[in-house]
Amino acid sequence: MTLDTSKVSIKTSLASLFGKNLYEVDGDQLFLDELSQCAQEVTVREGSYIFKEGDPSDYVYVAISGAIMLERSTSKGVRHVFAFLFTGNLLGLSEFSVYSFSAKALNNVTVIKMNKKIIQSIFDRYPTIAKRFHQFTTHVLHYILDQMFIMGQKTAHQRLAHLILDMAHRIGHGTNRFFLPMGRQDIADYLGMSLETTSRGFSHLKKQGIINIENNYKITVLDSAALKEFADI
């Protein structure tokens, strides 16, 4: 169980988690050495689960590459998608003994898998790292609050516009062309609408000349200002 912390992809992901200048701070190299002892690089194939709702929450994960979907289902089979995660995002930070949702790989995914108990003990000895970690939790809280706001306030098409803007930002990193890793049904279950409404939303934005769609998944934002206006930001 060792982790190559000199690998660029891993560096990038850890930096986005614990702070950009992680490798510059005094004593952090020690932390990284310890981390590499309790961490492990794992690949997960498209469609399979990193962990499932109800599994003992023994590990914390950091996404290195690929796209992950957090979902939960009711006993009656109704599904809800909580989030889409990408490089640098953290999974499984529950304080509870079991995960309260499942994490599904939308494509081939690599993650860093860290033993929660060991990482906890590391945190006890590196309070600066622990603080950064907990700051991350409140950032997540902040993000979810925004998401809740969107869920409550917007019409279905506006919510979709907001998702596209979010994806353009998180996947496209500023460029206006990106590849959606999830299907229409996933988006529908994320935004709380039907599959058909999602599809109509895409079609509508395309007809308006605001976005372009190739092959269902390849999206280009043609008029970013109009999209923002439409999303009512």
Partner DNA sequence: CGAGCCCTTGATGCATTTCAACGAATGTGG
Partner DNA sequence: CCACATTCGTTGAAATGCATCAAGGGCTCG
Q: Choose from a second copy, DNA, none: what does 96 bind? Cβ within 5-8 Å by kind.
A: a second copy
Q: Choose from a second copy, DNA, none: what does 29 bind? Cβ within 5-8 Å by kind.
A: none
Smallest separation (angstroms) from a second copy to the CB of 157: 15
Q: Choose from DNA, a second copy, none: what does 189 bind? Cβ within 5-8 Å by kind.
A: a second copy
Q: What are phi and psi of 64, to 5 degrees?
A: -100, -45
The Cα–Cα gap between 70 and 59 comes to: 15
Smallest separation (angstroms) from DNA to the CB of 205: 10
* Residue 100, helix vs strand vs coil: coil
Q: Choose from a second copy, DNA, none: what does 149 bind? Cβ within 5-8 Å by kind.
A: a second copy
DSSP 55: S
Contacts of 126 (CB under 8 A, 6+ apart): 27, 28, 30, 31
Q: At what angle do helices 156-170 and 224-231 cross, to 10 degrees?
A: 130
Smaller CB distance to a second copy: residue 152 or 174? 152
CA diameter of the chain: 57
Residues in contact with DNA by CB under 7 A are: 154-157, 183-185, 192-200, 202-203, 213, 215-216
Contacts of 3 (CB under 8 A, 6+ apart): 10, 35, 36, 37, 39, 40, 41, 112
Smaller CB distance to a second copy: residue 84 or 178? 84
Q: Residue 7 is encoded by which pair of tokens?
A: 């690998």
Residue 31's nearest CA partner among 154, 145, 124, 155 is 124
Smaller CB distance to a second copy: residue 76 or 207? 76
Residues in contact with a second copy by CB under 8 A are: 72, 74, 76, 78, 80, 82, 93-96, 100-101, 124, 127, 134-135, 137-142, 144-145, 147-149, 151-154, 189-192, 232-233
Smallest separation (angstroms) from a second copy to the CB of 79: 9
Smallest separation (angstroms) from a second copy to the CB of 146: 9
Smaller CB distance to a second copy: residue 30 or 233? 233
